[in-house]
Structure 1
Amino acid sequence: MKKRNYFSVFLTLAVLPALLLCGCEDTAVSYSIVGESQAVSESVDGGSSAADSSSVTGDISAAGSVFATDSSQEEQKIENQEKEPEAVLIQVYVCGAVASPGVYTLPEGSRVYEAVEMAGGLLDTADPRALNQARMLSDGEQVTVLTVEEVQNGETVEQSSAGEDLSGVSGASDGGKVNINTADEAGLMTIPGIGESRAKAIIAYREENGKFESIEDIMKIDGIKEKMFDKIKDSITVS
């Protein structure tokens, strides 16, 4: 009986340390697993956080770059607009044998033909030869287009603006009168009512017959009669 009790005590003492060792190993394994799980979790969370932080930083940097580019382009556009000179405009009154007589606004430096085009163009009854369509316009002037009948009747109009300086025109005298003996085609066309065809006729007459002896001799040109002469005599001279 005593031997059995000793054996039980011995068996208990032998088994108990083994059980205790097994328990410690399980605990260690448990702690190890828990630690690795936490490490993995921390590693995953940390990586995600770093990636998110990097993404946000990149977005902010890109947005700042776009904003800076847009601002630079806007400033450049404003500078270009400030440097562009404003166009100077003039107004002229177009009347007579045109489709739509009226006051028209054109850029400075425009020609008569451009004003006529804005007025709808010439009517079929208009005489384009009585109009210097290449002449440069000035602000506030009137452009009158005569009909063929009006020209045949000797009617003329002053196509140049009031007070225009003719001193720079070839053949113009000191008093602003056009010398019909020396003026070229462009100079002759500054005379009221003298268009391209009449200017050429005057030059042809000079080449064939020599100089005009008096201003009255201009009536020897076809289309220039007494009525028209009365209107242009104060604008011409001979020498």
Structure 2
Amino acid sequence: MLVVDVVGKVRRPGVHRLPAGSRVTDALDAAGGVLRGTDLRGLNRARLLTDGEQVVVGVEGAGVTGGTGGTGTSGQAGAGGAGGGAPGAPNGPLSLSSATEQQLDALPGVGPVLARHIIEFRTQHGGFTSVDQLRHVTGIGERRLADLRPLVTP
């Protein structure tokens, strides 16, 4: 089972339990669906969920942190945002388990290639349970890990 927190513009926000292998669209269904008029651009409804993530739907400027994606989704963004955000954003650290490639690319010292490596690792291992797992991503050494540690969460 997966436990995910769906927040934002859905009929029944809150913590929902879903079968392993569920996707963002399943989380939206569990939350009663998206409210009419909500912009879902940027929310990858086909993305596999990870246990403990937050899916933020339709929250402008919310960013992404473990949900579904930036102006749309990522680990935590949804149409219009996610729970997390860019480094230095008021929302706090970026979720490795839900951030989009673009959000990861925006981190200092992470470019598009390294962002893809992080997403590949996340896909192969079912998400991140610890920031220290970044050390197992091709291209991340101790120094880069130390730089990223305060900017990200599992």
TM-score category (smaller protein): 0.3 to 0.5
TM-score (norm 2): 0.45
Which structure exhibits the higher relative contact order, with contacts defined as CA atoms closer than 8 Å and separated by 6 or more residues?
2
| Greater share of helix | 1
| Greater share of strand | 2
